[in-house]
A and B are shown apart, each in its own frame.
Chain A
């Protein structure tokens, strides 16, 4: 019987590099290695997950009891805005980027992404953008117009400098995501190992491919929306000036044309992770593998045609309402296909429940609850009641926390051993899982009732006789549970990284390529380029005679990309342009723009 021990027979490859590698801190600042960039994204995402959680904790304390004055209305608005902006753009997206960066090349049998320096550029631009956004807390107050920043509230008549940090910061994140999208589209389409046909790609790779298209095509509309906002606030254009004929719907269309595809950017990777984990811990192939892939692609396409469901109350007119209502209801179909495929995978499986599997399994019902309330407000008359109430808050937290975040937690327990080489503690993992699940449902389930009982979103306090007291108190207790559980996870990650049990190459007896190399993998990922013969190359290598992955006798010679300062240099220049726009220091903008030209010249002439 073949086993993964066979791969150790391969002779070590020889490298050639343009420059000697750097070490220590210098290495981290100039790295172009997808694994290190993945770790940087992961640590940043985890940090911002805690920041966003702290923000939520603060405003939940305010809402715990009626007529509370723990926070002012102003502070409350800032915290709510920053909580959502942070969770969407600075926590969940970077954690997805971490998993994509670290694992896409490993899963498709490649040595790196298509454009390693562009990858580093994406990371630094994200990091500087996130710092710019958060520096608003220090300079004149956080943005407070809500995460979807509706015009004309964001105009200079109504909102202070926080909005300037918001649009410049988000514009940097948009640049970063667009560049990353292009990079990963090319990587996945073009860097696959021999034999890795599109239909043999793991489902997670497929879902990440879909979201890269969503990133590349849905960020431009919001970028334009932000540019128009920036021009209004900085150069006196009148795009969102109602007194000049400006129409508030313009921003809403541009924002939601981005916003709805964005929610699929957040959920599809978790669906991919669940589709990878369920087969491993049921010891069965994924039920309807191709249907899961195609429904993911369908969701991606349809995601561009439903944005108007966020605007039913705006008065788009009956025809637009009807069209968006039907497209929205139809998206429920491919979503349902996936749910039944996961159930089909579980059916009759030899199931075990390590923490990764617990999160993956609980993803299914929790996400489904959110999906069902989504289908409810796809109907305009119903949505007129539910819109802007806590019912919608309940909906999107079931899909985002019960769905996206639980999927990512599953991913942490499943994939982190590959990165650290150490297993996480199962005992702490289970504490994390159960406390988090309880907290989540305690917070968000009662919010369905709160919404139906008329509590609007984004009010900073409420009267004692409205009948909302118990549900709000439960919500605050739930958030404390979720925060505790998340800290347990952080503790688990840190302690296991230091002194966890060694994971070995393939701790879960899994079926995809990333488990054939060492944990952590060497810089060049694989000692030899694997040849892929089936959908489940490693599983078949271990179990199906005739499908062994051939181990070459001769050593490969590999060109490894070298460390580079250029990516960070250009990101810094972009940051300086944004700072120039914020402070109206035009010479700074011009110098920084010239810096970009110089940086690009240095970039193209640098031997990679």
Chain B
């Protein structure tokens, strides 16, 4: 099979740039996602301090709890990196454990978010319709949470494929690419946590 014919097998060829198709596609997609989250976060700040009714960010955020969930998400990037590394070195079971561990940490993060939303709605009286803050906060963090959820499902499937022996060292790219996505989602959260949560208390 020529180099070229091989490149057509979806995603698994190493093409003209010397980068596998799948990885290049993920980078292009993440570029697009930067614009997506950029627009959501931009909307949040476009409307910052424009709300006509309370509660305001300072009234609802609890940095302590969110710091814990942020820490868990950061740790999940570590486990993800370890999972990718293990697969590159051909240690499938170790990789599976780290990948599933990452998914579990991600799931915990989503759990925290559900708890946070629930708390804001029932205790603090902040709903989607309360104010510009409510609308832009929930939609922005909600779409981030949805991305984490997609990541959790994805990693669970990746872990399952490793478990079943479908992904071995020669297909480490599949784990690596899910890792790229995961790190991206994590970075978006760091931006949100820093600028939306922490900065609120810096003033």
Residues of A near any B CB (own CB < 8 A): 110-112, 114-117, 178, 181-183, 185-186, 189-194, 196, 216-221, 223-225, 227-228, 231, 235-239, 244-247, 250, 253-254, 257, 529, 556-561, 597, 601, 604-605, 608
Contacts and interface: CB of A to CB of B under 8 A. Distances in A.
Nearest to A232: B135
Contact of A239 (B3, B5, B25, B132): B132
What is the predominant secondary structure among interface residues of chain B facing chain A? Answer: helix
B2 A529 contact: yes
B4 A529 contact: yes
A375 B10 CA distance: 45
Contact of B139 (A189, A231, A257, A608): A231
A115 B43 contact: no
A27 B46 CA distance: 49
A190 B17 contact: yes
A191 B52 contact: no
A220 B36 contact: yes
Contact of B157 (A185, A225, A604, A608): A604
A182 B132 contact: no
A181 B32 contact: yes
Contact of B129 (A110, A114, A178, A237): A237
A185 B15 contact: no
B32 A237 contact: no
Given A183-B25, A238-B129, A247 B50 contact: yes
B128 interface: yes
A191 B15 contact: yes
Contact of A190 (B6, B19, B136): B19
Given A185-B28, A189-B16, A189-B24, A237 B36 contact: no
B124 to A, nearest CB: 17
A117 B10 CA distance: 8
Interface residues of B, number: 50
Contacts, number: 164
Nearest to B18: A190
A559 B1 contact: yes
Contacts of B75: none
A222 to B, nearest CB: 9
B8 interface: yes
A239 B43 CA distance: 9
Given A110-B4, A185-B24, 5 more contacts: A189-B24, A191-B8, A217-B35, A237-B135, A238-B129
Contacts of B3: 194
B5 A111 contact: yes
Contacts of A221: 35, 39
A191 B17 CA distance: 9
Interface string B15-35: 111010100110011011101
A315 to B, nearest CB: 16
Contact of A220 (B11, B39, B153): B39
Interface string B120-136: 00000000110110111
Interface string B67-105: 000000000000000000000000000000000000000
A167 B129 CA distance: 20
A111 B13 CA distance: 13
A254 B42 CA distance: 10
Given A181-B28, A220-B32, A529-B4, A237 B139 contact: yes
